[in-house]
Structure 1
Amino acid sequence: MTDSESTDRPYGAFPVRIGFQIQPQHAEYADIRRAVAEAEEIGIDIAFNWDHFYPLSGEPDGLHFECWTMLAAWAEATKRVEIGALVTCNSYRNADLLADMARTVDHISNGRLILGIGSGWFERDYDEYGYEFGTAGGRLDALGQALPRIEARWAKLNPKPTRDIPVLIGGGGEKKTLKLVAQHANIWHGFGDAETIAHKHAVLDEHCKTIGRNPGEIERSTAVGDKSPDEVGKGLLDVGTRLFTVSATGPDYDTGLLRDWVAWRDEVNAK
């Protein structure tokens, strides 16, 4: 832990964790299920999918499966790992319904769900499924309205969630998104190199300061793309990242890089 982390930004309170985003595209569900099982055996901490209706890369009309029905299946198919979407699109479901869905998967998984959520961006999803795309600002405003509704619905449900379901918010918008993170999230997920992430952390910390929240309560997560821990691990760790997420696409779901990150995690946490 650096001196700045121990005082102003105590992110070192969180251990290093590894997530694996299994992109539900270009694969049969049997391939996806095998990938989840293999990743859990390798030792990941969190298995993520994503919330889209069509592939984001490769053949645009290729094989693809829906997010939340898949998470319910993962809740039964896995035993140890946390599960969640990276991230759920707020636009696609009524906020109270989404809260109930999350509570249900939380119970099925015996308390292993993370509610990853964002404002949405993939216009084809909206157009094909009949949702109003609107503007980026409008979608962020809708997310800001939904988060208190989700929290309120969790308090009303019977039975209640098995735990305070962690909320992960994805996105790096400094005026709206990071303010919502400060207000509602347990985890922030972003993209970029160490310099970019450090800047976003500083902005988030300032939003926390404004509302009187300890920024050290928020776990910092970053997508690492196809980078190895030797390339980016230390730099991201030094600026506060504690959750590192590797992604893979179907149909093969290569786990070679994932194994390197899990081994690196174990080395760092053992120090």
Structure 2
Amino acid sequence: MTTPTDRPTRLGVQLQPQHAAYPQLRAAVRRLDEAGVDVIFNWDHFYPLSGPPDGEHYECWTMLAAWAEQTEHAEIGALVTCNSYRNPDLLADMARTVDHISAGEDGTGRLILGIGSGWFERDYDEYGYEFGTAGSRLDALAEAMPRIRDRWARLNPAPTRPIPVLVGGGGERKTLRIVAEHATIWHSFSDVDTLRRKLGILRRHGDDVGRDVSEVEVSTAVRGTPGEQAQELHDAGARLFTISADGPDFALPELDAWLAWRDARNG
């Protein structure tokens, strides 16, 4: 079993698909793939989250299908898919399809299914989804995960590999329970002290469901250049570090520093 001490350190980049024309996104994703980024994420929203609220924006999963063709090396995924927006069986089929599109010569796909319960109310209102409550959306996510896995087991062809599942969020009672039951990767926005505390809670959920959660890769969002806090997060167990870039130019002046920091951690 892979443990945090022997798991490689990885670098992710979230390209926030807002305020840019698609050729700019295409150029950015190719640039990151060629630079050696481990994972390239988008997000699953229908409108910008910052800047002009009705600015240019693109849909998540059709974009991921394009990225599957436009990249060769990096894993790809959403940070994160909103469970509310698609039937879980349909989402499983979409993920399986993108997984196959992304497969290289060895036949292994590069998709990560990043998923969460959803939170951006405008998306729900504008597209006609029931917003509900934070609790009801988390309950729906818990109900969706077994359906997704069951659909993967019945699809023809099957996914190229067991598709990694990234669960996003830090809720201690429900979200971390879902992580313990279903996640390959857990992503949060945590400082060092919060991360350590939540990892303790995650271990208790793992005990409750009979799973050793040390096999879950710990992912965190980071800003700026790597420094003392990045190393402290690494020491606490984080192994996937994700920076973000916004349109229209998706500038990442800190990218080279993060790539060098990652490579130094991996010896």
> Could you tell me the TM-score, scaled by structure 1's length?
0.95
- Please point out which of 55, 72, 79 is paired with 1:62: 55
Within 5 Å, give how 1:99-178 maps onto structure 2. 99-110=92-103, 111-178=109-176
CA shift in 2, pair 1:227/1:202, >3 Å = farther
Q: Residues 205-255 of structure 1: CA distance to partner in whole angstroms, max 9, x if unpaired?
A: 11112222112110000000x232114211100110000000010001112
Q: Residues 156-202 of structure 1: CA distance to partner in whole angstroms, max 9, x if unpaired?
A: 00000000000000000000000000000000000021111111111
- Structure 1 residue ranges without an equivalent (≥5): 1-8
**Is residue 2:201 matched to residue 1:203?**
yes
Distance 1:74 1:95 in 2: 22
Distance 2:77 2:54 in 1: 24
- Structure 2 residue ranges without an equivalent (≥5): 104-108
Which secondary structure state, in structure 1, belongs to the residue aligned with residue 227 of structure 2? Answer: helix
Aligned length: 261
Kindly indicate whether the alpha-carbon contact (under 8 Å) linking 1:39 and 1:255 is maintained by their aligned counterparts in 2.
no
CA shift for structure 1 position 42? 1.5
Kindly indicate whether the alpha-carbon contact (under 8 Å) linking 2:92 and 2:151 is maintained by their aligned counterparts in 1.
yes
Residue 248 of structure 1 aligns with which residue?
245
**Is residue 2:88 matched to residue 1:95?**
yes
Distance 1:159 1:212 in 2: 31
- Code of the aligned partner of 2:130: E
Instruction: Write out the 4+ residue segments of structure 1 that deviate beyond 3 Å after TM superposition.
Output: none
> Could you tell me the TM-score, scaled by structure 2's length?
0.96
Q: CA RMSD, aligned part only?
A: 1.0
Distance 1:54 1:23 in 2: 11
Q: Residues 21-79 of structure 1: CA distance to partner in whole angstroms, max 9, x if unpaired?
A: 00000000100111101111211000000000000011111000000000000000000
Residue 18 of structure 2 aligns with which residue?
25
More helix by share: 1
Q: Residues 140-168 of structure 1: CA distance to partner in whole angstroms, max 9, x if unpaired?
A: 00000000000000000000000000000
Which secondary structure state, in structure 2, belongs to the residue aligned with residue 11 of structure 1? Answer: coil
